[in-house]
């Protein structure tokens, strides 16, 4: 099990460049399989989620060539099998996304139910419901799902709740359907718009309704070509470095990121008393005075992103007073709090009083459990203590690393393979900002 050895207590300072978005890069590799022609992708991060996706694509018939440190060419002249391999497919959240190119090009797809982080159920009912309306037969059996179609039909569909990844899967599937599809109440994340840009460059006809941005109109086309596309920068990575700077009372200039795609985060830390300065493709965040507490709720774009709340918890531990986080996207996403409590965090779980929970929360009601808490109160400022800890998911791993940088003394973090799912060379890049962190790979 690989680990970090972190000696914390030093303010971070300097500048760091943001890599391509994890939540866009692997999906765009999958989208390239819609066409038999070569596609070139740049700004691809070197992370394990991308490697898993590449492995699945190669199994399905793709030829993938590394053309640079962060560049790939993907060519899939023929789909050689419609079955996503069980081993790699089970490890990843990507498995069901492969259904789009497989259905378009072969009329069938089989995939294992997706894995990834331990965040609770990842219900695919919204995808399967829409697929049924698109003349796609869905047959679940044990932990496998088989899809078949005699021809993908266009449809009008309204999501009961916005769904980021399912929206992207439907867009890829409808891009070559017969007729015009209108999908309502879609998610608004910038990674979706980056996928739309790529697909349109391949010849698709996909547009958001200018009067209702949650409505996406897809005019099916008979074929798609290859393209050249640069992956959007990673919002989660930029927020992680910003929280690392503020938690350690430092100042970091964050490059290769459009501040407009993290407006909600920047507004939040500004309210807390942080100093922020933005440019066209960079921003600087600085600790200039003690931070004030704040109450946040996670939610779909343009809300406070659920992926941010874990690393943000470290920042709240250094604010003066009681802050609250309410998690509305997943039924339970506070696994990181246990590690922080082991480092001295004072926190209390609670369930907010909600008159209409079915509409208030983004997750399906059946995913909830009596033992789940949807809110946590964090009391600060806390003098975090070093500790020896093990992480079991991506965001908790990044959170524990930030906490170790904040604590005075030496901490050991085991299980950093999970961090490598979404962060490229995190230890090396933190060292460039002055962090005392050693990466021991085993």
pLDDT band at 121 (very low <50, low <70, confident <90, very high): very low
Assess whether pLDDT exceeds 50 at residue 117. no
Per-residue pLDDT, averaged over 169-192, amounts to 97
Q: How far is CA 102 from CA 202, 230, 263, in A?
A: 17, 24, 36
User: What was the pLDDT predicted at 115?
Assistant: 53
Q: Assign residue 142 a region (left: φ > 0; alpha: ψ between -120 and 50; beta: otherwise).
A: left
Is the pLDDT score of 290 beyond 70? yes
pLDDT at 88: 72
pLDDT confidence band for 91 (50 / 70 / 90): low
Distance separating alpha carbons of residues 86 and 313, to the nearest angstrom? 35
**pLDDT 10s digits, 303-320:** 999 999 999 999 999 999
What average pLDDT does the segment 91-109 reach? Answer: 90
Question: How much is the pLDDT for 123?
Answer: 63
**CB distance 235 to 190 below 8 Å:** yes
3-state class percentages of the chain: helix first, strand second, coil last, to nearest 5: 35, 30, 40
At residue 420 the predicted structure's pLDDT band, cuts being 50, 70 and 90, is: very high
Q: Rounded CA gap, 404 and 388, in Å? A: 10
| Residue of 117, 234, 258, 393 marked catalytic | 117
338 Cβ partners below 8 Å, 6+ apart?
A: none
Out of 1-10, 22-31, 140-149, 230-239, least confident range: 140-149
Q: Which of 82-91, 125-134, 361-370 has the lowest mean pLDDT?
A: 82-91
Q: Is 117 a catalytic residue?
A: yes
Q: Does pLDDT of 197 surpass 90?
A: yes
E strands within 69-132? Answer: 71-75, 108-112
SS3 240: helix
Domains observed in the chain: 3-19+234-440 (3.65.10.10), 22-230 (3.65.10.10)
pLDDT of residue 114 exceeding 80? no
pLDDT of 93: 67
Question: What pLDDT was estimated at residue 119?
Answer: 37
Distance CA 220, CA 218 (A): 6
């Amino acid at each position: 099990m690989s680990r970090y050895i972190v000696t914390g207590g030093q303010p971070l300072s300097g500048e760091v460049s943001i890599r391509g978005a994890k939540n866009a890069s692997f999906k765009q590799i999958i989208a390239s399989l819609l066409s038999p022609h070569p596609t070139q992708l740049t700004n691809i991060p070197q992370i394990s989620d991308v490697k898993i996706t590449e492995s699945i694509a190669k199994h399905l018939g793709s030829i993938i060539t590394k053309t640079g440190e962060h560049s790939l060419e993907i060519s899939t002249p023929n789909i050689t099998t419609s079955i996503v391999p069980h081993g790699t497919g089970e490890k990843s959240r990507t498995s069901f996304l492969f259904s789009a190119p497989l259905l378009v090009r072969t009329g069938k797809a089989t995939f294992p139910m997706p894995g990834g982080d331990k965040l609770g159920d990842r219900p695919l009912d919204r995808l399967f419901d829409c697929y049924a309306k698109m003349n796609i037969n869905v047959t679940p059996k044990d932990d496998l799902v088989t899809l078949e179609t005699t021809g993908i039909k266009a449809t009008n569909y309204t999501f009961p709740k916005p769904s980021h990844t399912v929206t992207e899967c439907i867009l890829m599937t409808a891009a070559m359907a017969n007729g015009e599809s209108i999908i309502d109440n879609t998610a608004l994340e910038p990674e979706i718009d980056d996928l739309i840009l790529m697909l349109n460059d391949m010849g698709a006809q996909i547009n958001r309704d200018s009067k209702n941005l949650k409505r996406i109109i897809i005019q099916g086309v008979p074929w798609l070509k290859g393209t050249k596309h640069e992956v959007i920068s990673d919002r989660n990575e930029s927020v992680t470095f910003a929280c690392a700077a503020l938690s350690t009372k430092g100042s970091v200039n964050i490059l290769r990121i459009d501040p407009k795609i993290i407006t909600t985060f920047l507004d939040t830390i500004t309210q807390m008393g942080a100093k922020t300065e933005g440019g066209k493709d960079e921003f600087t965040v600085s600790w200039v005075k003690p931070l004030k507490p704040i109450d946040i709720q996670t939610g779909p774009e343009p809300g406070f992103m659920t992926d941010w709340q874990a690393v943000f918890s470290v920042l709240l531990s250094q604010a003066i007073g009681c802050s609250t986080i309410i998690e509305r996207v997943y039924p339970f996403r506070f696994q990181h709090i246990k590690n922080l409590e082991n480092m001295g965090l004072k926190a209390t779980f609670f369930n907010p009083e909600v008159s209409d929970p079915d509409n208030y929360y983004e997750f399906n009601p059946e995913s909830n459990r009596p033992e789940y808490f949807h809110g946590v109160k964090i009391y600060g400022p806390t003098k975090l203590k070093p500790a020896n800890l093990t992480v079991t998911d991506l965001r908790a791993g990044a959170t524990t690393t930030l906490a170790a940088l904040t604590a005075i003394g030496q901490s050991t973090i085991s299980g950093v393979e999970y961090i490598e799912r979404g962060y490229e060379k995190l230890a090396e890049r933190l060292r460039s900002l002055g962090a005392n962190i050693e990466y021991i790979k085993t």
